[in-house]
Structure 1
Amino acid sequence: QKSPAKVYGYGKGLSPLLWTWVSSPKLNGFGKFGDEMVGGNVGGAIAGSHCSTVERLYAWEKKLYLEVKNAETLKLEHEKRAAQLRKLELKKADYVKTEKTKKEVDKLESRLMVASQAIETTSAEIIKLRETELYPQLVELVKGLICMWRSMYECHQVQTHIVQQFKYLNTIPSIEPTSEIHRQSTLQLELEVQQWHLSFCNLVKAQRGYIQSLTGWLRLSLFQFSNNPLSKTRQDSAIYSLCEEWNLAIDRVPDKVASEGIKSFLTAIHAIVDQQAEEQKQKKRSESAFKELEKKVVELRSLESKYGPYSVPGSSSSTRSSKDPIAEKRVKVEILRAKAEDEKANYEKSVSVTRAMTLNNLRMGLPNVFQAMTGFANACMRAFELVAKCTDEVHDVKRILP
């Protein structure tokens, strides 16, 4: 009774509703292969997608679970009635009561036979589905993953070559300030790299979760609850060997290196965003200082035009030299002018820092991230080639054996 429950649990983990990384058209990296898997005959398998095959396996496993549960209930009831019948026969009880109990036992035995046949039929359907559809689809899926990662590897190689040319550019950083469009573009780039990192992590997690669930289900189905573990067919060995090799392969790929590469590039972009924000703050401080200076200059000119450069009405010649409001105003104007010039210099320096940081961070960050992604794509391609080689070796053995 425990056996189907555990298999049923793994079946739930295999539900295509949880395998979202290939369900979205935006995330379908298999191209033509993805379309073929949905429509036609794949590797000799019955027409239908891998998704529908897993759904049907899940439905059959659920049916098997209910049938075994029902059989266990009947078995317990049969044992109970058989024990009652033995007691009645030993006691030589009433004939009618004994016959009635015997008929109940016979009826339960018949129901048990029907339940056993139903279990065998359902098990045969699961085996048939696993051998004729699931295994060929997995083989084709591995081939599709090889093609996908080879394409990604070649693409990242080209990207790496392009971004490595940055170091040969003797570009003098621009002194143009950061515009609003430029700032929004940098923020959008940061958002896209964040999404890239999240999608990459989800992709690896989904692939690992899928093959771990599939391998775990096969392990339970083929070995743990089999009456004779040595009686498994060659096809059983092939599908389990494929999934075990796949499981090991996906664990060996250097996803943490690639993930950290994207994360480091994201940190570099974020530093540029922060510096651009600091530049904007410095720009506002500079503009504010010049507005204040302009205001004080206007006030000074107004006083000078009204009273003359050094004369103030109602003041004696002795106090004019010691306390001259126009002179004091002029001193304040000069202090503000110096402050405004300092803020302007700081702003120009901030612009230069932003430009230099942008160039340096891109020069360093882009080659690193694409080198990491190139290495990851190459490792995935090699890993799935080894998995495919494993299936080829199994097919060669099957051709040799009678």
Structure 2
Amino acid sequence: MRNCNAKRDGLYSGDKTPAEVKDLHSRILVAIRSAETISERIEKLRDEELQPQLIELLHGLTRNWKIMMESHETQNRIMFEATSFNYPTYGKFCNDSHRVTTLQLVAELHNWSSCFVAYLSAQKAYVEALSGLEKLPNEAVICALKSFGKDMQALWVQQGEEKKQKRKVDGLAKELEKVLEFQRTESRVLGTKLSEHELEVNVRNRIEYLAERKNLLHKFRERIDAEKLKHQTIMGETQQITMKGFQTGFYSVFESLVEFSKASVKMNDDIVAHCEISKAPEKEDESEPSYVDEMSSYLCG
């Protein structure tokens, strides 16, 4: 444009092109300086305010997950080393309080799973740009909690079956007691009549009647014994579900939480290390000419 202006100086003394070019040049420089000023403010905000807060957050998360990891490792070891649970022997049955406690445990497991999902969602929402968060093994924790919750739900149902069978056995026992009491009363009455009218009573019919009653009583007792055996079997199943559910369920949950905590610690450490590495010496950048200087030399040189 300078060459063009030089050629036209002699022909068009009133040409406004040089003035317009200078005005445009000034506007470009002002716009570039404004852009650089805004960019510097953004960088300052990022480096002096945002980055320290993020690093502080990451350090806090790292400490948090280290503590969680140690706690879950201890819990996991306890559940792994546990070989048995105190469970009442026959004669001490699960009652309403046991079922209520089991149902409360199911509710707490559901709440535990919901809180874990909500906590992780909050982290993802805050640091969504950190794509490494997507690699955390959170699904394993959620699956373990849900599986444990299903086991406890099955335990609650099993406790209901045990209680139902216990009521059945108790009812039959009461019925047997009534039959025995009636038989004793009947024997007393018949015995009295026999002593008074011994010559008029058919002894053979009485023996047959007593034999029939004895046979019915024997069958009734066999039925009660069968129901008691069934009750014992159900109690054993309840005990097995309790032992397997608690040990295996908690072990799986704590194991998955240990792995999740380890992955969280590593992820946060890697991010902090990356932030430290990214703090390259800024002196090299400061020694380079700014874009404004380059444009000025190009337009005015």
Q: What TM-score results when the alignment is normalised by the length of structure 1?
A: 0.53
Bigger radius of gyration = 2
Decide whether aligned partners of structure 1 residues 287 and 398 sit closer, same or farther in structure 2, where only a CA change above 3 A counts: farther
Contact 1:174 1:352 in 2 (8 A): no
Aligned partner (choices 141, 160, 176) of residue 57 of structure 2: 141
1:289 Cα deviation from its structure 2 partner: 0.9
1:268 CA displacement: 2.2
1:106-152 alpha-carbon deviations (Å, 9 max, x no partner): xxxxxxxxxxxxxx9xx89x959953544432222122111111111
Q: Please give the alpha-carbon distance, in whole angstroms, between the structure 2 residues aligned to 1:397 and 1:186.
A: 60
- Whether the aligned pair in 1 keeps the contact of 2:93 and 2:163 (CA below 8 Å) is no
Q: Which residue of 2 aligns with 1:370?
A: 254
Q: Could you tell me whether the CA contact under 8 Å between 1:173 and 1:352 is conserved in 2?
A: no
Q: Secondary structure at the match of 1:177?
A: coil
Match of 1:177 among 79, 85, 93: 93
Is the CA contact (8 Å cut-off) linking 1:166 and 1:363 kept in structure 2? yes
TM-score by length of 2: 0.70
Which amino acid counterpart does residue 204 of structure 1 have in structure 2?
L
**Aligned partner of 1:301 among 172, 179, 184:** 184
Partner residue in 2 for 1:63: none
Structure 2 partner of 1:385:
269
Match for 1:317: what amino acid?
N
The whole-number CA distance in structure 1 between the counterparts of 2:42 and 2:86 is 68
Aligned to 2:298: none
Q: Is 2:202 the counterpart of 1:317?
A: yes
2:48 counterpart of 1:165: no
Which structure 1 residue ranges, 5 or more long, are not aligned?
1-119, 213-242
Following superposition, the deviation at residue 306 of structure 1 comes to 0.9
Deviations 1:305-338 (A, max 9, x none): 1113996x9x9739936973x5544433322221
What CA distance in whole angstroms lies between the structure 1 residues aligned with 2:244 and 2:53? 47
Q: How far apart, CA to CA, are the structure 2 residues paired with 1:399 and 1:364? A: 58
**CA positional deviation for 1:341:** 1.5
Q: Helix, strand or coil: the match of 2:160?
A: helix
The aligned residue for residue 138 of structure 2 is 255
Residues in 2 aligned to 1:349 and 1:309: alpha-carbon distance in whole angstroms: 45
Structure 2 CA distance for partners of 1:297 and 1:191, relative to 1, 3 Å: same
Q: Can you list the C-alpha shifts for 1:92-117, whole angstroms capped at 9, x where unaligned?
A: xxxxxxxxxxxxxxxxxxxxxxxxxx
Contact 2:87 2:239 survives alignment (8 Å):
yes
Q: Let me know the Cα RMSD of the aligned residues.
A: 3.2
Find runs of 4+ consecutive structure 1 residues off by over 6 angstroms: none
Q: Kindly indicate whether structure 1 or structure 2 has the higher relative contact order, using CA contacts under 8 Å at least 6 residues apart.
A: 2
1:273, CA displacement in angstroms?
A: 1.7
Offset at 1:375?
A: 0.2
Q: How many residues are treated as equivalent by the alignment? A: 243
Cα displacement string for residues 333-382 of structure 1 (whole angstroms, at most 9, x for unaligned residues)? 32222111111121122222222321222222222211111001111111
Structure 1 residue 186, shift from structure 2 partner: 2.4
Corresponding position of 1:348: 232
Structure 2: tracts of 5 or more residues without a match: 1-34, 287-301
**Residue of structure 1 equivalent to 2:245:** 361
Identity of aligned residues (%): 24
